[in-house]
Structure 1
Amino acid sequence: MTDAASPAEDAGRPDGPAAIGRRVQRLRTAQGMTQRQLAEPAYTAAYVSTLEAGRVRPSEAALRHLAGRLGVTSDELLTGRPAHLATDLRVSLLDAQRTLATGAAEDAAADYARLLADAERHGLAGERVAATLGLGQCALETGDLDAARAHFEAAERLLSDAPLPRRARAVRGRAVAHYLAGELRYACYLLETAIAGLDAAGLRDPEALVLLHTAVIAPYMDLGAHARAAQAAEFALSLAPQVSDPALVASMHRTVARTLIAEGRTEEARTSLAKAAELYEGLQIRTELAHCHWMRGYVHAQDGDLESAEAELRTARDMLASKRASLYTAQVEVELADVLRRRGRAQEAEGLLRRLLGELHPDRGAVHAGGARRLLGLIAEERGDLAAAEEHYGAALALLRRSGAAGDLADICLLLGDLLRRLGRAEAAMDVYRTGLGPLGTPGSTTLGPAGPPLPPPA
């Protein structure tokens, strides 16, 4: 059966009659065939002439005949996509993913951009989504948060008609970009909304749920909603046996360790980090392995083992720097500067922090930028430069108020308030103390509302 098509309907369609006709003519003339030779024995030269002119759309039987005579597949004749193109693109996407895991994000981004163009040109929707998500991950690693958000938003648009579990990685990526920019509440909002959507629709997809619950832990912790972070961690752990993606399981163990540290369960945190590191080593995902070293350094610092903390943080910093992951590198260096200061190397710490001020700013790592200013204030206060200390504490306060990082905000308000009181400015000190108390006044309600009842157990 053939169908006539108007020029308007055919315009821009790779599988429209005009495009198919041009394809048939190009392949026929390349092989030196006449229209009669192509048509026989089932069709006539007049039919091939009409088809090549784009005035008819070939039936499935005609497509099979023409493709067989021309030595191509019916799909290639219909769409213009070379045979095995989709398979080759998927293999190339895996190669780009390996480049991102083991090499520089800029190199992976170049591969993903090329693959995205190929997928768009040939109308391969799934591969287009995968390449767009890959570009978002590359932008997160390089610290280009605006680009990361744009890529993840583009992936969400491409998946707008897909079930919510398929959109989970795009939602998670966009939330992480907002989190890294210091927009903690909005990151929680995005993730909580997606989790609620899965629950309301009865879509208890284990991988989507673990992905989203794992991602919400860090912003919860920075907001001071430790109970909600622990709740999300517990739920993710309960679903882990149903998850087949080892990278996702590793990410869960690494992130859950943060809630364990906050609860004083140090040995359990070490065990969780060891599981994550083992999985990342097997998968050769260097960025995430560096994050495990980063977290181990934090654990050692909490325990007072500053020598081990410095070693782990330097390992993390060097691994991230080798991948040119600039934002993550700067964040680790803030932690390293704290350890250096505590080890009595204040001058070295100060030099490192001053260099970092250009890397971290309100729209790019606000929480760590506030941490850097806090440390510079401590160093200035310890050497007796109270004016500089006040300036740094004030800058840290502005950054942390903007992000809503309740615990860090309370800490900086205490430091600044004590300094102002020492300077005889009691009224100003009281105002600062009140600022620090505000976010802590209603624990567990720093995101969308009360913590509420425990999440339901997995099905």
Structure 2
Amino acid sequence: MTLGQQGDEPLGARIRRLRTGRGWTQRELAEPQYNRGFLAKVEAGRRPPSDEVLAYLAQRLGLTVDELRFGRPPGVAETLWTELRDAYQALEQGRVAEAEETFADAETRAADYHLPDVECYARFCLAESKWQRFDLAGATTGFEHAERVSAEAPAWLRALIVYRWSACRYASGFATAAVARVESALGELRAGEPVDPDAELALLTALIHPLVEMGALHRARRATEDGQRAAALATRIDFVARFHRQSAQLWQAVGLPDRADAELTEAVRLFGLLGYDRDVARCHWARGFVLRRLGRLPEARAELTRARDLLTEVDSTEGILGATIELAEVRRLQGALDEAEILIQDISPLLEGRQDVEARAEVNRLLGLIARAKGDLPGATLLLRKAADDQERAAPRTGLVATSLHLGDVLREQDRLPEAISAYRNGVRAAADADTDPVR
């Protein structure tokens, strides 16, 4: 009989099976507290056992009450947690189909045995695989599915679900809602005692990227500094590694590139210890971003090429898209316009039918700048307008400031001065909305 079949077995029949498997008579199991006739009714399903009866029978059979009640083999929860951790590592290494099969099987078994914390993590892992495939709608639904059974999950897992859900919402163009959800969860966590440092670190990490992109550097720096304190107490290496990778973006944004590079170096080390190849590759992508911002374009190109190759090996659609966009920007800045355009064309199918507003805006901005450099000013105008519209809806203020400036310049080059002035004003408003003082 499989584990799942045991979970579906009637309780009375399970008691009878366990009793006869030990070679006991009904009297031998029931006495001294109960008699044979009482146990016969329980086994036949004519008398549902009370909690007191279950506790007595479980003790006699050498089981826990839940093992008897739900047909759990001893140690099944620990076994399922181990299987899920191993499968998550397989996901990180690109064995997506294999990992998804384990996640789905573990979810079913955990539900059969009434292990809601394990079931929650299995559901989270399934949603994470959709995130890796860049299925934002599916991932969002998956994280919400996990949250429905999260009441008995550990605090770190509940926080991680909020982290990933908010990342999906941010990428889909709902930045304000994403940040508000994380800040609400953080407030609820801190209202309790004691505060779980892993959960706090996950939520603080979730705030850094959207706040930086929204231009809210005061708040992003506060989240980063609070995260440093939480990281010193955290026990989960993967949470600490993610924090180092995300905090690098803040330090780069406030003009501390050496500190950003040190954070990424530490993140690579920690992810390497875990065998998390996907996250190691994402660190190389992040380092390419920092190098590009520093104007070290040859180094940025090498780092981003490496990141894209590694992300391709682990089948991370989301990572391939982001690293390629950044690589195309580097090649554009190096004057390789045709190559930059080809890079964007190669990943365009990955955006079809998807909700990633931030990536779509970046693609249109890049294509608009390439069109401008090639002398196609009307084409550049159309593409930059599309990018600005997406950025205005999605609230990445730092991107909107730059796009508005480029759009204004292109319109001015066509002697469309009223429209150019309107674009510049849009950029000024975006800059005014952003908190750009790094507060060192």
The answer for the alignment partner of 2:418 in structure 1 is 427
| Residue equivalent to 1:109 | 100
For residues 89-129 of structure 1, the C-alpha deviation after alignment (integer angstroms, 9 at most, x for no partner) is 12212221221222333432221111001100111122111
Q: How does 1:179-194 map to 2 (within 5 A)?
A: 179-194=170-185
Q: Which runs of 5+ in 2 are unaligned?
A: 1-5
Residue correspondence of structure 1 range 169-180 to structure 2 within 5 A: 169-180=160-171
1:369 counterpart residue number: 360
Confirm or deny: 8 A CA contact 2:7 2:112 kept in the other structure: no
Match of 1:67 among 40, 61, 66: 61
Tell me how far 1:36 sits from its aligned partner.
7.0
Residues matched between the structures, number: 431
Distance 1:377 1:22, change over 3 A: same
Correspondence 1:89 to 2:80? yes
Residue of structure 2 aligned with 1:298, choices 263, 270, 289: 289
Instruction: State the partner residue of 1:385.
Output: 376
Amino acid at match of 1:133: F
Q: What is the SS of the residue equivalent to 1:293? A: helix
More deviation in 28-37 or 422-431? 28-37
- Shifted more, 72-81 versus 289-298: the winner is 72-81
Output aligned runs, 1:314-329, within 5 Å: 314-329=305-320
Alpha carbons 1:207, 1:243 under 8 Å: kept: yes
| Partner AA of 2:173 in structure 1 | G
Aligned to 1:209: 200
Matched, 1:19 2:10: yes
Distance in 2 (CA, whole Å) between partners of 1:201 and 1:164 is 11
TM superposition shift of 1:47: 3.8
CA distance in structure 2 between the aligned counterparts of 1:260 and 1:94, rounded to whole angstroms: 32
CA RMSD of aligned residues (A): 3.0
Secondary structure of the corresponding residue to residue 220 of structure 1: helix
Following superposition, the deviation at residue 188 of structure 1 comes to 0.8
Which digits, 9 at most, give the CA deviation of each residue in 1:305-336, with x for residues without a partner? 22211111111111111221112211110001
After superposition, the Cα gap between the structure-2 partners of 1:160 and 1:385, relative to the gap in structure 1 and judged at 3 Å, is same
Partner Cα separation in structure 1 for residue 304 and residue 392 of structure 2: 27
Residues of 2 paired with 1:367 and 1:315: CA distance? 23
CA distance in 2 between counterparts of 1:192 and 1:76 reads 39
Give the partner amino acid of 1:307: P
Amino acid at match of 2:174: E
SS of 1:441's equivalent? helix
Of the two, which has the highest radius of gyration? 1
Structure 1 portions without partners, runs of 5+: 1-13, 446-450, 455-459
- Partner SS state of residue 142, structure 2: helix
1:49-448 equivalent positions in 2, closer than 5 A: 49-58=40-49, 59-60=53-54, 63-64=57-58, 67=61, 76-160=67-151, 167-201=158-192, 203-360=194-351, 364-444=355-435
Equivalent pair of 1:105/1:325 in contact (CA under 8 Å): no
Is contact 1:182–1:363 with CA below 8 Å preserved after alignment?
Answer: no
SS in structure 2 opposite 1:384?
coil
Give the Cα separation in 2 of the matches to 1:440 and 1:61: 65
**Higher mean displacement: 388-397 or 22-31:** 22-31
State whether residues 360 and 366 of structure 1, in contact with CA within 8 Å, keep that contact through their aligned partners in structure 2.
Answer: no
- The sequence identity of aligned pairs, in percent, is 33
CA 1:159–1:36 in 2, change beyond 3 Å: closer, same or farther? closer
